[in-house]
Structure 1
Amino acid sequence: MTQQLIIIGGPTASGKTSLAIDLARHFETEIISGDSRQFYHEMEIGNARPTPAELAAAKHHFVADRSVLEPLSAGRFAAEALARLETVFSTQDQAVLVGGSGLYLRALCEGLDEFPEVTDQARTQVQKLLEEQGLPGLQAELEQLDPAYFATVDQQNGRRLERALKVCYSAGQPYSSFLGNRPKRPFDCVYLRTHPPREVLYQRINHRVDLMVAAGLEAEAKALLPHRDLPSLQTVGYQEWWPYFSGEYSRDRAIELIKQNSRRYAKRQVTWFGRGEQYDAVSDMGEALKVIATKAVRQ
């Protein structure tokens, strides 16, 4: 049987952590966290990190194992996670991944396209073209150098055109020639999603925020204020505190905005996971095990 990476997705506060632990204990395996906010030890409260008891219930990786000042890219995450999975799969047929920021999950399960290093000469060449001819110049040049990619790219997106041209100039070959050359992973991915009723989900979110505030979220955010421009801190639970600290609105308003933005984020997640045809909706451990067994038979 091909080994399986069981991926548990779903909106925030939907029970992903508890299901992941149940599955890890059932299969006597380990958990990879794919939540890009849980990587950093300074962000303990605002990202719903697993509790000490939950961390003790099953072995977790990529939870609070580095500083927010040492950001982990999607590509680096995939490389490190693949190395961890190789060790897990040396003794087990299943591993569990919980959460998963979209790019990080794609990098691990599908791989990312690898491009050559962009040269200074290529940067200068593209910048000159942009200054002299603007967007039409970029469009015309890319259409000539890489008509295949030009036919599929958003031709009004100047940044994408610039990126493609820099690669074309640096490599001396079309940007599209570097797309799709991804090695197949030595395991199958089984996608599950948790989906509690919306009213239950929103109640859980509001309650979770109250617990975070009681646990010291405000003080944690204040300690991170000097680093507020980092991408990892441009996120719900932290960004709402910055205006409060500068006196733009009240503490109560900051807390209400965290709840409101968390509910909106969850709504977007529900929509996104609902569109993902590879995700099977499960309500409990029993349903999850049935899906996993079915996938193993089909594969």
Structure 2
Amino acid sequence: MGPTAVGKTALAIEVAEYFQTEILSADSRQFYRELEIGTAKPNAQELSRVSHHFINSHSIHDSYDVGKFEKDALRLIEQLHRQHDVLVLVGGSGLFVNAVCHGLDEFPEVPGEVRQKLNDELEENGLSPLVEELKRTDPEYAAVVDLHNPQRVIRALEVIRVSGRPFSHFRKNQNKKHRPFCVHKIGLHMEREKLYERIDARMDAMIEQGLFEEAEKLLALEHLNALQTVGYQEIFPYLKGEYSREEAIRLLKRNSRRYAKRQLTWFRRDSEVQWFKPDSAEEVVSYLKEQLKLSETEC
């Protein structure tokens, strides 16, 4: 796990090759086959080196969420463990990683009218007032959630309005579900300035590969949840004439950096994560070999 552009794909492939195993993606944007350029999926050469699961597995028209992913991933893990003692889960979507490793938190039920009222407010006033409400009522969650994703913001606010408690109160994983496997967590990090340079360079490469053209083909579908994400939300207003291409590029880079910062904030809350530099494949493999020896008696 780790922030966008840090090098998760490359290291995960090296680890998977060493253990002669397969990779499960926990990147909530790479599921969708229509989102090719803007989601930084493994390329064809990388996909040919190791079997990957949950890459291009769904359409943006599918209704797919973290609860469904948890069930699908656990079912697949059970199958793959018949051939492999070790599997590699890789991704930057902390909620999806947690769902596989520990299960989802229990949240209060939300009446339909509360959700509808929030959606009405979104349609009438836009996302900004809802984001400000979330920052005011739950700054802890606002620091880690994708504030450009209306579904995530509304989900948090509906729980807050119903319960009177911060959404983060229900996200403590205090009752972790039993899993029939051991989990060893590897986090990747690098100096912030270098990471931001990599993010900017990746965005330049995506634009050169045709990110704007890809977004234009998807403009009529911008309301779909799969497109409520950094990499597309900054381009759609440009395509509708709301600001310049230069401004769209500036926002793409700025929001990608902000997304990386939220990812790091999320993962650093987890005391189980062991942190490595992305070019530390040998160190990571050595660490995992030691952990696997311990797992033989502890799991």
Identify unmatched segments of 5+ residues in structure 1. 1-8, 128-156, 165-175
Structure 1 residue 13 corresponds to structure 2 residue 5: yes
User: Following TM superposition, by how much is the alpha carbon of 1:161 offset from its aligned partner in structure 2, in angstroms?
Assistant: 7.0
Q: 2:83 aligns with which of 88, 91, 111?
A: 91
- Contact between 2:200 and 2:253, CA under 8 Å: does it hold in 1? yes
Contact kept, 8 Å, 1:280 with 1:291, in 2: the verdict is: no
- In the TM superposition, structure 1's runs of 4+ consecutive aligned residues that sit over 3 Å from their partners are 113-118, 161-164, 179-183
Deviation at 1:116, TM superposition (A): 11
> Which residue in 2 is equivalent to 1:296?
292
> Paired residue for 1:262?
256
Alignment match of 1:275 (pick from 248, 269, 284)? 269
Q: Which amino acid aligns with 1:295?
A: Q
- Distance across 2 between alignment mates of 1:195 and 1:160: 32
Q: Distance in 1 between matches of 2:105 and 2:260?
A: 29
Would the aligned equivalents of 1:37 and 1:232 in 2 still touch at CA under 8 Å?
Answer: yes
Distance 1:278 1:116, change over 3 A: closer
Which amino acid in structure 2 is aligned with residue 225 of structure 1? L
Task: Name the count of aligned residue pairs.
Answer: 245
196, 199, 202: which is aligned to 1:205? Answer: 199
Aligned pair 1:39/2:31, yes or no? Answer: yes
2:245 is the alignment partner of 1:221: no
In the aligned structure 2, how far is the partner of 1:158 from the partner of 1:268? 18
* 2:204 alignment partner, SS class: helix
Q: C-alpha distance in 2, partners of 1:115/1:15?
A: 33
What is the CA-CA distance between 1:115 and the residue it aligns to?
A: 8.8
In the aligned structure 2, how far is the partner of 1:263 from the partner of 1:240? 13
User: Identity over aligned residues, as a percent?
Assistant: 46
Calculate the TM-score normalised by the size of structure 2.
Answer: 0.74
Query: Cα offset for 1:112?
Result: 2.8
Cα pair distance change 1:240/1:190, threshold 3 Å = same
Alpha-carbon shift at residue 180 of structure 1 (Å):
7.3
The letter for the 1-side match of 2:257 is: R
Structure 1 residues 296, 65: CA separation in 2 closer, same or farther (over 3 Å shift)?
A: same
Q: Contact conserved, 1:243 with 1:249, CA < 8 A, in 2? A: yes
Listed as ranges, the gaps of 5+ residues in structure 2 are: 117-155, 164-169
Deviates more, 1:285-294 or 1:44-53: 285-294
RMSD of equivalent CA atoms: 2.7
Alpha-carbon distance in 2 for matches of 1:96, 1:215: 29
What amino acid is aligned across from residue 42 of structure 1 in structure 2?
A: E
- Range with greater deviation from structure 2 (77-86 or 288-297): 288-297
Q: Which amino acid aligns with 1:18?
A: A
Which string of whole-angstrom CA distances, capped at 9 and with x for unpartnered residues, describes residues 236-272 of structure 1?
1100012101111111111121011111211222233
Q: State the one-letter code of the partner of 1:249.
A: Y
Aligned residues of 2:92 and 2:263 also touching (Cα < 8 A): no
